[in-house]
Structure 1
């Protein structure tokens, strides 16, 4: 059996091959049969019996024994891709079947880019996916271990029909994440994901004749292609003339094998931290903890560097430390990037940010006669906007992810750093001054647990409560009040609501979120 973190099992009998995920609770006398799945945050009341092959949804509360039927997790795809416990839920058998489903979704004989991070479980999973793809006639262009943005870029360069990248999940290192993307490097749209799920469930694979099984080719010069396109995209001469010095924390990711070479060709003096690949020491894709920030800030100040950069392990997101050693993350980092982008691209430029981002973005674009469009609060929606919206020059979120559509419509940490250096060189101001010129941002966020089966009812009741107020339904429920706004957003993967609020002071923003959090509690 597998038992996740913070699971509380009291007087419970677990049979063979049971999976108990994080934060599950079982009462006295519970019996869980073979091959059952208790999803994250679920509760099984005392004395309940679960017959074999049952699945309990995240956050569900089981109050009666499950004897007949089963529960298939119909949605394979989450917000980031397909994820599950490494070698337990995402097993080699599962991966081979998923690879075959993806290959059957594509046209016969399609070329598919495959890549992975440096962890050995990702290697195992990728090889199983490749076996499934080849079994239905897909031809593989394998990049071995490579940062995800480079793999997405190679889908365009090679003319592939799509691709996949395997890594440990940035949210939970016990899980494997499989990201699927199209020929432009963007995440598959929801329609494509549903088709793959349908093929997977029906096992509707077109198995190829022995002579039609797909081929496997290891692509060469991948790094060279990406590097040349990168150097053509940024203003290298302007960056060289600025003679900047930066400190980069690579978080033991694969980007440490590529980025120092590129920064060197730009004439940037670089000091590297955690600059060796070590899959056992990977950092989560969230703002770094205080200890890492202090370490980076100390080095930046000691060396009189222009800025410090923290890159996440997949090579997609960044966080900054200015020359004074102050951390720059979240909405403040997004506003800083947006301000510099508007200044660089000029008036009439168009930006895209999620519905949950600070309203300071609107104030910035108004000052420069630029425009901003809002998207749903997920990475796929930003990528879709970047890929289809004419005239869009920049997109980003408050989690350190930034997109420059002219290069590629996906998050890319190295391109983000390159454009940041170009923006700062063109501006002639240090990062701290850019930050000081931003409008004040007072935003607060919180979570509230809510079982899956109650989410729809909660949203309906909250709509009733906001009758007569100015609201927006782009994603979740956004309510505008005199002092600011509040957004209530059900999570697509977990039994929780996210509540975001922004106001004219830190205390007011916190109060706004707590007020509406209480209203959700009332209608649950």
Structure 2
């Protein structure tokens, strides 16, 4: 209950000594004959002296066992919702539930009875909330599972993480992707739980190690959650601190508002450490990579919405040649960032910002030098280009027009928001219909701000994935026999079969884009690099991926070789190439790779990236490749024999899953 005291009672408490009301004070008052009274009230009472009682009090309030004035409007019986809160129409909400002001509830979220959500809370698609209490400013990721737990102020629970019954996560903590916090576990404020970790004990002292800034491909994270203006300012200052004062760097971006915001913050950080900026503004990446070596700058930064995740921002750093920076340079930037080892420039040393002109013209000039212009003029080709509302500074239509080719452009206006994969597929189908109707030579859907493409042949049929990789290799090696092509470790063996036809050489690299760029740039006689996954590199132009040059080169090659895309496709080797993805905690990845190496003959192994198990005297292989940025393992099986591919994929899927389960059981047993 509650105690009500007259002020003079406090005079009975001894000075500077611990004293208990029930054990010390009340017996003393009774001994001295002071009057004491009790009253038994009929109302609700709950002493929230421990966490179970705290949760129970919330549930009792929702069940109206206690009379409360809710600060939010009751939108329907038992559902109180604050102002300026958006709830996706597909979300399922079961009363009683409280949702505060300025919240965002994503698609297909399931909120079960007894859930309490504070103000400014974001809940990602497909999350499942079973009676948690979520405090103000929390961020709950896609497919997260919260069960009768407490998520404190400003805490972030990432995608597919589980926080189980009676667990409490302290304010400003982060629970990584696919991590699990077991029942009753308490996490003190400002802690970080690594992706895939299983936490079975209270996390009180220390802080888990901070993650690396750089992943498989630059710096990436959730837009305006991981990648915020304050983060970008600090990142820009860290990068600038690794360069000499007074150095110049280019900064470019896609057309999204979020990219503009991040770019301006990066510029502020760079200027603060005395770096001068060549601001290319909204520019396709191929253009940025082409002009970097010509401008004599120390490097460049490009900011864009991630090509595979529309809620993510990707920040890529390029060196003076236009190639993504090395691991060593990444480590220098990370060191400056985490140690806060940034110099601060005096007022007269602050960097300057310039807006160079004729950037696109420089790209066009370099572009033209590598093409047979007369061939293009004579081709009278008709091409349909779909920009999916997303390519900045797309100069290709004007150039093709100048060369005498007919370019029909679709969806060239710039949207501020990224399109979903489903919407892109719809546009691809429409592109096929347009190509057929116009009797065009081919169509192309350009994505990733000018880096990637999907082709559509004259019949409206898409060419993508391994078929697109093989088609580009075949056409380039027909044009340049005995050349060298560079492809990632997981590309289909059709590449080697085509290379043998043309007495050509194949170089395989790690799966990451930087490895492809470096190998294409450093090796002699490389005529093509990359794959459909990343885009294609033409190293004579610049060291990055370039869909725009690829289109013009295709027109030229089809004209000279007197072929159509359909006829090229018909001549490609028939290779079966399938893949599968398996969940794998970060902690198990290294042990899995070691296990595979130890359990296969050394002569059958290739260890370029992951573990590739090859059949001798055959193009059949299976590749087990850990994902660099998520708790996943990719399986690829490749052969001319469909049955071998299906059986091998089944076999290795079972082997990997069994190993992962054994590792997880062992971790739980040790804890």
User: Aligning the two structures, in what range does the TM-score lie when normalised by the shorter sequence?
Assistant: over 0.9
> RCO greater where, 1 or 2, for CA within 8 Å and sep 6 or more?
1
1:354 corresponding residue in structure 2: 488
Task: Tell me which stretches of 4 or more aligned residues in structure 1 moved more than 4 Å.
Answer: 287-290
Is 1:448 matched up with 2:582?
Answer: yes
For residue 397 of structure 2, give the secondary structure of its aligned residue in structure 1.
helix
Instruction: Give yes or no for contact 1:443–1:509 (8 Å, CA) kept in 2.
Output: yes
**Which deviates the most, 166-175 or 130-139?**
166-175
Per the alignment, residue 30 of structure 2 pairs with none
Q: Out of 355, 367, 385, which is 2:519 matched to?
A: 385
Aligned to 2:372: 235
TM-score, length basis structure 2: 0.75
Is 1:422 aligned with 2:556? yes
1:5-404 map, 5 Å: 5-255=142-392, 257-282=394-419, 290-346=425-481, 348-399=482-533, 401-404=535-538
Report the 3-state secondary structure (helix = DSSP H, G, I; strand = E; otherwise coil) of the residue aligned with 2:417: helix
Compute the displacement of 1:281 (Å).
Answer: 4.0
Kindly state the Cα deviation for residue 443 of structure 1 after the two structures are TM-superposed.
0.5
| Partner of residue 508, structure 1 | 644
Q: Cα offset for 1:257?
A: 4.1
Provide the rounded CA distance (Å) in 2 between the counterparts of 1:42 and 1:357.
32
2:634 aligns with: 498
1:84/1:175 contact within 8 Å kept: yes
Q: Match of 1:485?
A: 621
Distance in 2 of aligned mates of 1:354 and 1:85: 27
Tell me what 2:659 maps to. Answer: 523
Q: Is the 8 A contact 1:251 1:313 kept in 2?
A: no
| Structure 2 segments unaligned to the other structure (5+ residues) | 1-137, 661-671
Q: RMSD of aligned C-alpha atoms? A: 1.7
Deviates more, 1:302-311 or 1:69-78: 69-78
SS for the counterpart of 2:449 is coil
The TM-score with structure 1 as length reference comes to 0.96
Shift of 1:67: 1.0
Larger radius of gyration: 2
Cα displacement string for residues 131-189 of structure 1 (whole angstroms, at most 9, x for unaligned residues): 11111111000011111221122211211110101111122222221111011111001
Note the alpha carbon deviations across 1:197-222, whole angstroms, 9 max, x for none.
Answer: 01111111121111111111111111
Query: Kindly tell me: are residues 161 and 468 of structure 1, through their superposed partners in 2, closer, same or farther at Cα, counting changes over 3 Å?
Result: closer
Residues 256 and 426 of structure 1, relative CA distance in 2, 3 Å threshold: same
Contact 1:329 1:400 in 2 (8 A): no
Instruction: Give, in angstroms, the shift of residue 522 of structure 1.
Output: 2.5
Q: Distance in 2 between matches of 1:289 and 1:167?
A: 18
The change in CA–CA distance for 1:142 and 1:201 in structure 2 (over 3 A counts) is same
Contact 2:388 / 2:427 at 8 angstroms: preserved in 1? no
Counterpart CA distance in 2 for 1:506 and 1:326 is 23
| Gaps in structure 1 of 5+ consecutive residues | none
